[in-house]
Structure 1
Amino acid sequence: MKKICFFLFLLILTSCEYFNVKKTSSEIILKEELESFNWNDVDEYPSFPFCDSSTTKEERKVCFQETLTMHITGFLEQEVIVVTQDINDTISLYFEASKEGELSLLKSKIDSLTINEIPNIETLFSESLKTLPKIFPAIKRGQQVTTVFELPIVIQVVD
């Protein structure tokens, strides 16, 4: 009986280490969370109301990009643009979709030939955004967030 009690006593002494609870400070938890947080991706991309019928995140992203591209190119097609030489250029437009659902043009990368032929092209891009339908902002962890994205637009004008 003494051997069993001695054995149980040793077992209890050595097993106490397994029952220790390690305290973790909130700063350490926050630091670990921030390190694992992907700042370059959102849970849901910005979208238009009619893109909500798309089932996957990628489909909604493509719907948003295609709708925005079609809207801008449709606006440009209605404008009378006179050029002296053919233009075939891919323009990179950088947009910001605010958490309030407002879309604004931040900057654009346009070839110098295109700028010489169509000096008001950036103004036309900005004007086209005024007639956009309502935009739902991007969502990250249940919160509406501001996002910045690039959209290539192909410009083809034949004189």
Structure 2
Amino acid sequence: MRQICVFLLIILLTSCEYFNVKKTSSEVILNEELQTFNWNEVDEYPTFALCDSLSNKQEKQQCFTNVLTDHIFKYLQDQIIVVTKDINDTIDLKLRVSETGIVTILETKVDSLTIKEIPNINKLLSKSLDTLPKIFPAIKRGQQVTTEFKLPIIIQVD
């Protein structure tokens, strides 16, 4: 009986280590969360009402890009552009969609020939964004966020 009591006493004294709870500070939890957080991806891309019926993330992104490109292209087609040389150029637009759904052009990469032939191309591109339909911003972890992306626009004028 005495041996059983000693055995239980040893187990009781050594088992206290299993009941110690390690306290984790909120800073440690935040740092761990931030390390696993992918800042380059969003849960949902910016979208137009037209693209809401799509369920796949990639399809929504493609729809958003297509609607935006088509809108800019149609706006440029409606403008009277007179050139002396044929233009076949790809303009790279760097765009920002704010958390409120406002689109702004951050940067344009246009060939020098295109700028020479169409000196107001940057102004035309900016004006084309003024008539866009309502944009719903990107969402990351349930919050609306600002996103930036590149959009190629092909310009062909004969």
Say yes or no: TM over 0.5: yes
Report how far residue 137 of structure 1 moved. 0.7
Q: Within 2, Cα distance between the matches of 1:75 and 1:51? A: 20
2:41 aligned residue: 41
Give the gaps of 5 or more residues in structure 1.
none
1:4 aligned residue: 4
SS in 2 for 1:96: strand
Q: Within 2, Cα distance between the matches of 1:156 and 1:15? A: 78
Whichever residue aligns with residue 141 of structure 2, its letter is R
1:78 aligned residue: 78
Report how far residue 85 of structure 1 moved. 1.4
Q: Within 1, Cα distance between the matches of 2:155 and 2:7? A: 84
1:63 aligned residue: 63
Give the gaps of 5 or more residues in structure 2.
none
Moved over 6 A (4+): none
1:100 aligned residue: 100
Q: Count how many residue pairs are aligned between Structure 1 and Structure 2.
A: 158
1:108-133 deviation digits (Å, cap 9, x = unpaired): 11111111111110101011111110
SS in 1 for 2:150: strand
1:49-98 deviation digits (Å, cap 9, x = unpaired): 11000111111111000000000001111111111112111111011111
Q: Within 1, Cα distance between the matches of 2:57 and 2:65? A: 12
Report the identity percentage.
63
Is 2:38 the partner of 1:29? no
Whichever residue aligns with residue 157 of structure 1, its letter is V
* 1:71-150 matches, cutoff 5 A: 71-150=71-150
Q: Within 1, Cα distance between the matches of 2:6 and 2:92? A: 78
TM-score with structure 1 setting the length: 0.95
Report how far residue 39 of structure 1 moved. 1.0
Q: Within 2, Cα distance between the matches of 1:74 and 1:110? A: 19
TM-score with structure 2 setting the length: 0.96
Report how far residue 24 of structure 1 moved. 0.6
